Amino acid sequence: MTGPTQLGTRPAPVAAGERIVSLDVLRGVAILGILVMNIQSFSMIDAAYLNPTAYGDLTGVNRFVWTLGHLFADTKFLSIFSMLFGAGIVLFATRLKGKGIRSGPVHYRRALWLLLIGLAHGYFLWYGDILAMYAIVALVVYLFWSIRPLPLTIIALVVLSVSPLLYWVSGMGLSYAPPEALEGMMEFWRPGAETVAEQLAAYRGSWADQMTQRVPSMTTSLTMSFGVFLAWRSAGMMLLGMALYKWGVLSAERSRRFYIVMAVVGVAIGFPVVGLGIARRFTDGWTLQYSFLRGAQYNYWGSVLIVLAYVALVMLAVKGRELGGLGRTLAATGRMAFTNYLLQTVICTTLFYGHGLGLFGRVERWGQIVIVFCIWVFQLWFSRFWLERFRFGPAEWLWRTLTYMRLQPMRR
């Protein structure tokens, strides 16, 4: 692997004093928020994430917890994470260009290492990995980093529209699908007792037992799920993040009035749309034909508006300095987002899988949220504790060292 063609100084990680605080705070919010949904994949069978009626109790407090999670968290924080990844590409490329360094070779080396780490994470620890997917998408998204924000936004909306189109075509095709294909989709959507028992036994078993389920699930995520949904959604949000960063939205440079309007519009439209989708799915009875395909579109589009509202609220808090010490803690958590993402996997697989406490399938949704809050408290404390002593989180240090092909200083 050859190094970048350099016109000036050697590439190096951004210094702590050059960081944009609003991006770190927003990233901290995102990395904590994604655990609200990921906890379901850590603790329950595959189908329970998309179809909450497939496993576990969905009445009373459990239904309330799921509804709040879907309304406020599902797709939202992962979308923020995707936007920040796109903004990071622009920031990364712009900074290297300012130093007279070609960013392309460094970016692609950076993405390659992220892909390898993501594949290891997904195949050996947890099939819900997003790192490999981000690395693959970043190979293409990088080509758009220098485009002006308005064309970027238009391209982002076009890319975001691909997945709903594919879902619509799939829904139309269900009427013509052969019985065996339809039966396979039904088994995915609402697995039978034998499939449920296999997953429970595997994840409550040894690491080798878990591989019988994790490997095919990760492979499906990187192929079918990636091609139909994940790639288009991630790419679209990354491109939108690039545009918003260039407009100064993500760096808290716009006026308070701008962010207030942005938040009001996002809340006033986004939440009713997602709420309507929830109501219609329950009314429909969570059938494959409606809830998996057409019913998913409410959250798909409504979440984009809610994400914009979340961004606006965080930017208002950063501009007004209302967050105080919590803001510094969230910024530290965001600076260690890579480490915290992997740490969530280590903690949750230890709690739920057979090599640890073996609680897989045994914790109801309300209990999962209690665990989420406990992990939040720990990660908020740990991030500040670590960064008071070291320059980077462990995973950030490793990624930077591999990207820049030289050992990075760790201690302060």
**Per-residue pLDDT, 178:** 82
Mean pLDDT of the chain: 92
Higher pLDDT, 260 or 174: 260
Q: What is the DSSP letter of 54?
A: S
The set of long-range contacts for 319-322, using a CB threshold of 8 Å and a minimum separation of 24, is 319/252, 319/256, 319/259, 320/256
Which of 63-72, 120-129, 267-276, 322-331 comes out lowest in average pLDDT?
322-331
pTM attached to this predicted model? 0.93
Lowest mean pLDDT, pick from 23-32, 114-123, 124-133, 182-191: 182-191
Nearest to 307 by CA among 30, 116, 11, 25: 30
Q: What is the pLDDT of residues 334-376, one digit of tens each?
A: 999 999 999 999 999 999 999 999 999 999 999 999 999 999 9
pLDDT over threshold 50, residue 8: no
**Alpha-carbon gap, residue 195 to 201, rounded angstroms:** 10
pLDDT at 3 over 50: no
Q: Band of the pLDDT at 11, cuts 50, 70, 90? A: low
Residue 101, classed as helix, strand or coil, is: strand
* Res. 6: pLDDT tops 50: no
pLDDT category at 10 given cuts 50, 70, 90 is low
